[in-house]
Amino acid sequence: MSTDKHNGNPVVRMLQGETPDALEGVAERFDVLLTDPPYNSKRKSYFALSWQKHQDRDFGEWDAVASTDYSWLRRAIELLKDDAAVLIFSPFERLGDYERILEELGCVYRTAIVWHKTNGVVHVPAYKSSNEAIVYASRGKPFFRRWETQKEFAAHNFIQGASCMGNERKRWGHPTQKPEYLIKRLLHRHSEPGHWVLDPFAGVGSTAAVCFQMGRNCVSVESETEFYEKACIRLAEARRAPSLTGIQQ
pLDDT tens by residue, 91-145:
999 999 999 999 999 999 999 999 999 987 665 566 777 899 999 999 999 999 9
Which domains can be identified in the chain, with CATH numbers?
12-240 (3.40.50.150)
At 86 the pLDDT is 98
Residues 6+ apart with CB under 8 A from 40: 63, 64, 65, 66, 67
More confident residue, 220 or 5: 220
Kindly report the average pLDDT of the chain as a whole number. 83
At 168 the pLDDT is 76
At 239 the pLDDT is 87
Indicate if the pLDDT at residue 1 is higher than 50. no
More confident residue, 128 or 56: 128
Which of 169, 174, 56 has its CA nearest to residue 119?
A: 169
Indicate if the pLDDT at residue 244 is higher than 80. no
At 242 the pLDDT is 63
pTM for the whole thing? 0.84
Indicate if the pLDDT at residue 65 is higher than 60. no
More confident residue, 154 or 24: 24
Most confident by average pLDDT, 108-122, 139-153, 208-222, 227-241: 208-222
Beta-bridged to residue 138, according to DSSP, are: 85, 108
Of 126-140, 161-175, 187-201, 207-221, minimum mean pLDDT range: 161-175
At 191 the pLDDT is 97
Of 6-20, 33-47, 170-184, minimum mean pLDDT range: 33-47
The pairs formed by 70-75 with CB atoms below 8 angstroms and a separation of 24 or more are 70/97, 70/98, 70/101, 71/20, 72/19, 72/20, 72/23, 72/37, 72/200, 73/101, 73/102, 73/105, 74/20, 74/105, 75/19, 75/20, 75/23, 75/24
At 92 the pLDDT is 92
